Every structure is written in structure tokens, then in C-alpha cells.
Amino acid sequence: MWTSGEGMMMRAGGRWLEGKGFGPTPDKAPTIVMLHEGLGSAELWRDFPQKLADATGYGVFAYSRFGYGGSDPAPLPRPIDYMSREATEVLPEVLGAIGFRKGIFVGHSDGASIAAIYAGTVQDHRVRGLVLMAPHFFTEPMGLKSIAAAKLAYENSDLRQRLARYHVHVDNAFYGWNGAWLDPEFEKWNIEEVIAYLRVPVLAIQGVDDQYGTRAQIAALEEQSYNPVDVLMLEECRHSPFIDQPQKTLDAISDFVARLDAIEAAEAEAA
């Protein structure tokens, strides 16, 4: 269990991961598990986890995957299916380590893909809903072009220095992500098959000006899902809705959680 606002270390996938919980622990309230982007970490969610805990009354837990933040480094190069491995091999152990009982996943970018893979692959009735911010279900030329540009920025600007403030193993974090996405074999990466197996409501949030993916990602989710999918497209927003449009993102997630609570209450009353 965690102490709200204090960092912790946990063992999962054979290595140490850093995490931080906010608000009530899983034995006291449902939990929002936050899954960060390809260059994110627990700290790079900034104050959003605390705001989410305050707005919903849920506990919120954010952790840094291998290679990120203060977690142990990841073996490189990362395999093409690294997100699927994270979802099926590591995330279950993270949930066990925090005593997860029920709640939702909030994933961003790579983290959104990992959340979708878990929900579409692992039968876990504790997971009641998904919030997918800027999810990737397949590669797009414009996204790969932006990732190639990020490599140039990392090697020729102050990007490495800025990222090093948040990642102990900064080269491991950057090249683990960037190297996998720029592997020629990664152009064929596609996880659309998991969409049809999602059995919980989904809230998809994407910036209109997202530099890593187009609305085609959201369209695939809408067209292939058998479960309800709510979509929020945000103007004046790039790849990180919780940074570019924090209040609208917070309000949308809070409303989504409230509707899930209402559904659960109605089902319990009917039973």
C-alpha cells in the first residue's frame, strides 16, 4: 500500500519500479492506474494524478516502466512487441503489488496501447473502464516522421538534458522507445485485433493537432469496438491532452468515472 503523495519502489517483472499513489489506497476506494507515454514517467504526469484523485474520490497510482524515471533500466534493444509484453507480463504484477481491487486504467500514447492490450487480452473483471489518451493501434507515416525528428532533437539540442531531469537512465529511456519505433520492422506493428475483445466502456481523448497520430486511431476504436466508446477531440491540443487542455481532460475523465459509478450502482440495485 502507499502513503499518498510519497514515492515507493516495488518489484515487478524481475526488476524494481518506482511508483507514487495519491488519495485512498485500493482497500478504501477504487483505483485509477496511470500508464505513461513513450518518454513519460510517474513524475511527468505532473500534478494531474493528484487532481484526478481530488476530483473523483478514487485512489490514483502512477508508476514508471522499466527504463523510465527512477525505475531499473530495460534491456535494449526493446523487442517490437514490447507493449504487449508490458501489458501481459509486467502490468499484472504491478496490480498485484499495489493490491488492486477494482478501478480503471488511464493510459497515454504507449500507455494507452498497453492499457488496451491488457483489457483486450487479459480477462480481469476488476477493470471497469479505460481512458485512452492519444492511443496507438497501428503506425502512421506522420507519426514515424515525428519520432525520427525526436531522435535528431535528442542528439542535437537540449532535449537530452531536459529529459535527464526526469529519467535516471535517460539514454535507456529514449533509445528504448525511439529505437523500437524506428526499427523498419515496426512499420508493420498493429494491435487493432485487441479492440474487438474490449469488454468495458472506453473514453478516447485526442488532440486535433496530435503530432504522433491522426484521428484514424480513434476511428479504428469506434468502428471495431463492440462496447461503448466516447470520443473527445480537443482543439488547440497536441499529443498530451493532460498538459495542453488539463481542465477539459480532467472534467471528461471525472464525468466518465461518475457514469461508471452510476452504472455500477444501478446494477447493484437491480440485483
Cβ proximity of 81 and 105 under 8 Å: no
Q: Shortest CA distance to 36 belongs to which of 51, 22, 26, 46?
A: 46
Does residue 2 belong to any structural domain of this protein? no
Does residue 263 belong to any structural domain of this protein? yes
Which strand (E) or helix (H) includes residue 231? strand 229-234
Give the three-class secondary structure for 118. helix
Helices (H), 43-88: 48-56, 82-85
- Looking at the structure of the chain, the number of domains it has is 1
| Per-residue pLDDT band at 122 (split at 50, 70, 90) | very high
C-alpha cell at 143: 507519426
Rounded percentage of the chain residues whose pLDDT exceeds 70: 100
Identify the residue whose cell numbers are 473502464: 129
CATH at 63: 3.40.50.1820
Q: Is pLDDT at 178 greater than 90 in this prediction?
A: yes
Distance CA 211, CA 43 (A): 22
Q: Is pLDDT at 271 greater than 80 in this prediction?
A: no
Does residue 1 belong to any structural domain of this protein? no
Distance CA 233, CA 248 (A): 10
Strand order in the sheet with 15-22: 7-12, 15-22, 59-63, 31-35, 103-108, 127-133, 202-207, 229-234
What angle, 0 to 180 degrees and rounded to 10, lies between the N-to-C axes of helices 91-98 and 110-121? 90
Going by DSSP bridges, is the β-strand pair 7-12/15-22 parallel, antiparallel, or unpaired?
antiparallel
What angle, 0 to 180 degrees and rounded to 10, lies between the N-to-C axes of helices 246-270 and 48-56? 40
Does residue 83 belong to any structural domain of this protein? yes
C-alpha cell at 193: 485485433
- If you average pLDDT over residues 248-268, what whole number do you get? 94
Distance CA 231, CA 220 (A): 12
Which strand (E) or helix (H) includes residue 253? helix 246-270
Identify the residue whose cell numbers are 503506425: 139
Does residue 100 belong to any structural domain of this protein? yes
Does residue 164 belong to any structural domain of this protein? yes
Give the count of beta carbons closer than 10 Å to the beta carbon of residue 84: 18
Identify the residue whose cell numbers are 508490458: 86
Q: What is the value of pTM for the model shown? A: 0.97
Cβ proximity of 148 and 227 under 8 Å: no
| Per-residue pLDDT band at 229 (split at 50, 70, 90) | very high
pLDDT, one tens digit per residue, over 53-74 is: 999 999 999 999 999 999 999 9
Measured between its terminal Cα atoms, the distance across the chain in Å is: 32
| Per-residue pLDDT band at 32 (split at 50, 70, 90) | very high
Which phi and psi (to 5°) does residue 99 adopt? Answer: 70, 40
**Residue-level pLDDT at 1:** 75
Query: Domain limits at 62?
Result: 7-270
C-alpha cell at 113: 496501447
